[in-house]
Every structure is written in structure tokens, then in C-alpha cells.
Amino acid sequence: MIKVIKREKIPQKLLIIIPIISILVGLIIGAIAMIIVKINPLIVYKAIILGAFGSWYAFTETLVFTTPLILLSVGLIMAYKISFWNIGAFGQYILGAIFSSYFALFGPQNLSRLITLTIMVLLGLLGGAFWAAIPAFLKTYWDVNEVLSTLLLNYIALNILRYLMYGTWKDPSHIGFPLSRRFEVNAQLPRIIPNSRVNLGLLFGIIAALLIWFILKKTKFGYRISVIGGNPIAAKYAGINVINDTIICIMISGALSGLAGMVQVSGVLHLLQIEINPYYGYTAIIIAWLANLNPIVSIFVSYFFGAMISGAYLIQLTMKVPIGISSLIQSSIFFVLIGSRFLINYKVVFEKRSKK
């Protein structure tokens, strides 16, 4: 007889082995897809590695792609710790970019760089937190499914961005291209590595990861988050204000996604446009789970995905291999990872039938 039993304690080795297996399966599925279209996967994977690490320029470009992924994944970890299934980092990222860009484009142009960037950072945080607060209120007061509400808000955010970029925020000098005016120098995040695009946002990401780890592990608020995430009814009977803590936690989650949007427009693009890579919001979901909801581990997993994205851009340019192969690998990893959560939480036991 086969029995499925919930594990009382999850073995640490499973938490390490399953993400590794998920990555390997994702790479194998990607290789099979390439073989089907008659592309040698070994050559492609070698090109991806060289594209991510093959030179100093490639290394720094990988860090550029890593930066928003750290902020987004750390924010999502906050939400998932409290069992709020936030799919809306995509939209929160866009709102953070829009809010911060507003000040860069229409605010006073004669302020110092420190003041301008500080206000842009605060507006980026505010934009993401505002967009995350909507599903948080809907969930806590009316029990609206957060997967649906955050997903639908993503489309609304994207259409707001399109409306602005095809409307009043479009720079008329960019004929035919929906681009804003270029930010002034005082609205651009400073570079921290010479002759590269690596900007101050990378330090924001690392500090955010350390700060969230500290909050989750060393504070009463972090403890309450874990209790609510484990059993919100028990948390309520224990005297925890579940509604307040949930809303605060989700707003922090959204604020970090909004900051990622600010970092992208201020540190990398130096303008607002439709193609600000909001799909990082979905990639960050995979990163958060691969890191087993550990903010510090998410830094390294973000770097791995940053390398994959950076390398994928190179093979598209040099080998004419569709960049979608990177998305295929990512989605395969996520599929295996989510499926394997069953093996983490439950164990299969074989029992012999007793003879009567």
C-alpha cells in the first residue's frame, strides 16, 4: 500500500537538491527544444556562459540584469512568507518607474543630484507600495483572491504606461518611438563601476536583501509574519493584528518592486519607455522560490538568472537564436520547482499489507 504523509520536519538536503534538479531539468528541456530546431545546445550554452562571464564587460552587464531581479525577488519573498501569492511585481515595478519618472521629467530641474534622486527613490517606493496596497486591502477586507487581483492589475499598469508613452509623456523629437525625454544628469543614478552600466541600484538590492533577512529573522514583525503565513486563524487568536501586518508586509513587498522600476529607468535607461522589462517581475517569482524564500540566497540566484538573460541577449545577436529560449528554460525550471514542492512537504511511504 502506498501512503502520502505530510512531513513533520523538512530535510535540509531536500531544500538544496530540488532547486538544483529543477535547474538541470530546465536546461535539459531547453536543450531538447534547441535540438528540435537543429541548433547545437552545447554551443548555445557555451555562448551564454561566455556572454555572461567571458569578459569584464560581460560580467558587468550581468550585474546590470541582476540588480532589478534582487529587489523584485526580495520583495516577493516578503509576500510569500505571509502566504500572500503576489503575482503583481510586474505592475508594481511599472508604477515605481512611472512615479519616479514623473519627478525626473516634470519636477524642478535645478535641484541637486542627491535631493532629486532621494525624491525619485521615495516616489518609486510609493508607487510600488500603492499598487500593492490595492490587492492587499481587497484580500484582507473582502477575501478577494490575490492571484487574480494582482495579475489583473499588471495589465492595468501596462496600459497606463502605454497611455502615457503614446500621449503626453512622449517626446515629440522621437518620431514614431514612444520614448520620454531623456532624464537630466541629476536624475540619473551614478555608476559605481567605471566604464560600465552598473549603478547604485546594485547596492540598493544588496542592502534590501540584508534588511529583509534581518526583519524576517530578528524582529517581532518578522516573527508575526511567519505565524500569519503558517496559520492566520491561529495568529488571530494569539492576538496578532493579521489585517494590519498583512497590509504592511505587502506594501513593503510592492515598494521594493517599485524601487526596482526606479532603478531601471534612472540607472540604466535614463528615460521612460514601454520596454522597461517588467517581465522581470515574473522571473523574480522563480528566483524567490529557488532561493527557498531566503533573501540572502536570492542575491546569488538573481545573479544566475541575470547571467542567463545577459547571455541570451548575446546569442540572439551573434547566433540568431531566439531570446525566448531563455524564457523556455526559466518556465521549465519553475514548472519542475513548483511540482517538486509536493516532495518537499510530503513523503511517499510504502507499507506492506498485513496478513489477516
Q: Along the chain (356 residues), what's the average pLDDT of each consecutive run of 10 residues?
A: 72 76 80 79 79 83 93 95 93 96 93 96 97 95 93 95 92 82 94 92 96 96 93 90 95 97 95 87 89 93 86 71 70 72 72 62
Q: Do the strands 2-6 and 346-350 form a parallel or antiparallel pair, or are they unpaired?
A: antiparallel
Q: What pLDDT, on the 0 to 100 scale, is given for residue 223?
A: 94
What is the reported pLDDT for 355? 56
Partnered with residue 347 across adjacent β-strands are 5
Rounded distance, CA 145 to CA 284, Å?
Answer: 21
81-102, pLDDT tens digit by residue?
A: 999 999 999 999 999 999 999 9
Q: Which residues contact 123 (CB under 8 A, 6 or more apart)?
A: 96, 99, 100, 102, 103, 262
User: What local confidence, expressed as pLDDT, does residue 321 receive?
Assistant: 67
Please tell me the distance from the alpha carbon of residue 264 to that of residue 209, in angstroms, as a whole number.
18
| DSSP category for residue 185 | G
Please say whether the dihedral angle defined by the alpha carbons of residues 338, 295, 143 and 237, taken in this order, is positive or negative. positive
Contact between 89 and 153 (Cβ < 8 Å): no
CA distance 71 to 202: 9
Give the Cα separation of 301 and 283 in Å (integer): 11
* Residue 109 cell numbers, joined: 530641474
Q: Say how far apart CA 293 and CA 163 lie, in whole Å.
A: 35
d(CA 302, CA 307): 8
H helices of the chain, in order, are 12-36, 41-53, 56-81, 89-106, 113-142, 146-166, 201-218, 220-230, 232-237, 242-263, 280-290, 295-318, 324-345
User: pLDDT per residue over 130-166, tens digit each?
Assistant: 999 999 999 999 999 999 999 999 999 999 999 999 9
- pTM given for the model: 0.88
| Contact (CB, 8 A) for 253 and 130 | no
Q: What are phi and psi of 116, to 5 degrees?
A: -60, -50
Cβ contact 144:116 at 8 Å: no
The answer to whether the beta carbons of residues 125 and 263 sit under 8 Å apart is no
